[in-house]
Amino acid sequence: MPTASEQSLEPADRLFKAIERGDVDAVRNIYSPNCKIWHNNDGLTQSPDENLRVLKWVVDNIDERAYTEIRRQPTPTGFVQQHVMRGRLRSSGKQFALPACIVCVVENGHITRLDEYLDSAHVAALS
């Protein structure tokens, strides 16, 4: 039987693999229906539907998505992950690297809150 720590890390693994594959529906199933997604670069809290629209843009505009330099740890309520998201902009062919830190709350195998910390200078390079 998986430990509580292993149970909190399983949704993390599914989330980032789904994003790499471009499987927006799988991400929807990882979020709880009332999940709150917050980003430090704009201070806004999104619903799953709002966040998935952004993720759809990522899938449609960024090729070769990959998470590298992953450091993931369980927390008492979920997990924290630091990583670098890498990809290639479809419009220009330009490669990019976006360092980030994600803090998630997991309940019953679903992410109920996701706080994402990004460097706004790296995000601006995607436009």
Do residues 66 and 86 touch, judged by C-beta distance below 8 A? Answer: yes
Q: What is the pLDDT along the chain (127 residues), one digit of tens a residue?
A: 556 667 789 999 999 999 999 999 999 999 999 999 999 988 999 999 999 999 999 999 999 999 999 999 999 999 999 999 999 999 999 999 999 999 999 999 999 999 999 987 656 556 5
Domain limits of the chain? Answer: 4-124
- pTM of this prediction? 0.90
Q: What is d(CA 14, CA 67) in angstroms, rounded to the nearest whole number?
A: 13
CATH fold of the domain at 4-124: Nuclear Transport Factor 2; Chain: A, (3.10.450)
Q: Which helix (H) or strand (E) holds 48?
A: helix 48-61
